[in-house]
Chain A
Amino acid sequence: MSHDIVTPLLSNAIKAGTILLLPTIGEIFSERAGILNLGVEGMMLIGAFFGFIVAKLTNNPYYGIIAGMAAGGIASLIHAFVCITLKGNQIVSGLALTIFGAGFTTFYGQSWINMNLSNPLKGLALPVLSKIPLIGPVLFNQDLIVYLSYLLTIILWIILYKTTIGLNLRAVGENAKAANSMGISVSKTRYFWTFFGGLMAGAGGAYLTVAYAPFWLDGITAGRGWIAVALVIFAMWDPIKAIFGAYLFGSINALQFQLQASGTSIPSAILNMMPYLVTFIVIVISSIIVKTKHIRPPKELGIPYFREEK
């Protein structure tokens, strides 16, 4: 392949990967705190919907991103309330959140279907960095959200492993009782990081409709939320590894579109299936690695914490 095909392909891979990276790191932190949220797909849909509408109405893509984040965050609070305050089953509550997101956006999205954004998120080439051969145009000729996602991932990695906040967070997910006796509020920690997960899922959804595919379609996230949940296992609950997972899947997405556009003889249904099938295979492989390396999910993931219980 020549240069002028590779660069846009990789550049698109980063964009498609960002849609996944944001929800994946959000879910990593939620799971680290012990809350499994299978509502990522629903929160992304809600984020995508509000992101699109606000960007459309204000003609400002950044407002769209903020609105999408806020909407995802609010949606996550339903899950937090059911799972943390009421100690409900996290798997079922998460599924309910996904069904809610799909129902909500179908219900209110009807009149917005096939509308376009006239002012989608634009690129900001970073001076000097974007001139680096090969890497420059791919990594540093992107939009603001992509740059922020680089920064955020690194900051979150530092928070998780190098700060007291991260220590407390991990303690809550590993052994809530011990964390509580150390004076950490299990509920507050879990609420905060579940909310954070919602913000990130909403941001990923909004990035999809404000930058990547600036229009509204019913069910536009098309299972990306589930891929994000799967990527958490691939990343082994580590934000830096999530970058590689997300961009790998971004590449598959970008490649699939490139092939489709170039009029390949591979049927489009097979191309569209690729991200899910590859995720499936990757999850099987990484589960085996996780098992043999004795890496495991946060110990109390999915288990409600009763403070007064013996």
Chain B
Amino acid sequence: MFYFEKRKQISLKLKIAIPLISLLIGFIVGSVAILITGTNPLLVYKELFLNAFGSWYAFSETLVAATPLILISAGLIIVFKMSVWNIGAFGQYIMGAIFSSYFAIFLDPSIPKPLMLSIMIAASLIGGAVWALIPTLLKIFWEVNEVITTLLLNYVSLYILKFLMYGPWKNPTSYGFPLSKTFPDSAQLPILFGGYRLTIAFIFALLTILIVWFLLKKTRFGYEVRVIGDNPTAAKYAGINVNKNIIIAMAISGALAGLAGMSQVSGIIHFLQVKINADYGYASIIVAWISYLDPFLTLLASILFGGLSSGGYSIQISMRVSYGIVGLIESIVLFSLVGAQIFLNYKIRWKKHES
């Protein structure tokens, strides 16, 4: 029989090895899945890699996909550190997109671009934060489980978006397609380099990483987050206002997810529609987890998963391999990580049966 013995120190080697091995397992299981369909997994992975990192354009597309992942997971690491489970980034992303789109669609398009974009950004931050605060307040006042409420609100927001797209916000000249009218130039985020789709939102995302790092490592708030994460009861006795910190953390997390939604509609799609890649909300949970809730590792993991996502879309078109493979690989990586976490904190010891 084996048993677990707590490690006194977490070894750096394992900390590096575990995510790498998890990724490897993810790709191995993925190749079995691809093999079953009669396709050569090595060709698929080669194509995936080339479409993610093989050229400057491919890499820029990877960063385009990484941008929302960075924004969302930067917020998630704060709440996850407190063991508060915001599974609602999907919905907060949608609400951010809806709130900001309102101004892009209905505000006078001739107002100056910086003003328009500032309004849209503010709206997206508020939209995401409000959507995150509903379950947070319910959790704090009545102990309503936030995992379930944030999740259910994902579906509610999706149908709000559908309602708007099939009804009041539908562009009358879109031949019946559920799209809003195209955003005026003043409501489109500026791109960084001509010929690429990467926008200024990527810079915001990098800044967010710095801000979250600063918040967590250099401020009282960050200290309190860590204490609450270690032991909420002890934190309460130490005079820390746990509820206040949870509210702040959830508001930040929701706001950043909202901003990610805005960056997508304003920077990439340029109109509002039902499919706005809200799945980034779920992928960000994996990104946050794979990076040990560390802001800089989150940046790295976001680029990696951004590549998986943009490469995944490309192989769907070029090789007719379903995008489902991305979710499959991601989930196996996540399983391996969660399972392997034990090796970080515990040594496995063997002992003979005593009878």
Chain A residues at the B interface, C-beta cutoff of 8 Å? 38, 78, 81-82, 86-89, 91-93, 95-97, 99-100, 102-110, 223, 226-227, 229-230, 233, 267-270, 272-273, 276-277, 279-280, 283-284, 287-288, 291, 306-309
Contacts and interface: CB of A to CB of B under 8 A. Distances in A.
Interface centre among A99, A102, A277, A280 (most CB of B within 10 A): A99
B323 A106 contact: yes
A42 to B, nearest CB: 8
A95 B326 contact: no
A104 B4 contact: no
A164 B323 CA distance: 48
Main secondary structure of the interface of B (DSSP, over half): helix
Given A107-B328, A273-B159, A279-B152, 5 more contacts: A92-B289, A103-B326, A226-B148, A227-B152, A283-B152
Contacts of B147: 38, 91
Given A82-B335, A91-B147, A269 B166 contact: yes
A166 B165 CA distance: 50
A99 B324 contact: no
A276 B148 contact: no
B353 to A, nearest CB: 14
Contact of B4 (A95, A99, A110, A309): A309
A276 B156 contact: yes
Contacts of A268: 166
B334 interface: yes
Contact of A103 (B160, B328, B339): B328
B3 interface: yes
B156 A103 contact: no
Nearest to A95: B285
A87 B160 CA distance: 39
A107 B322 contact: yes
Nearest to B330: A99
Contact of A280 (B142, B153, B335): B153
Contact of B142 (A96, A230, A284): A284
B144 interface: yes
Contact of B325 (A103, A105, A226, A229): A103
A280 to B, nearest CB: 4
Contact of A287 (B37, B142, B155, B167): B142
Contacts of A96: 286, 331, 334-335, 338
9 contacts: A92-B289, A93-B334, A93-B339, A100-B328, A100-B332, A103-B325, A108-B33, A269-B159, A280-B156
Interface in B138-161: 138, 142-145, 147-149, 151-153, 155-156, 159-160
A105 B334 CA distance: 18
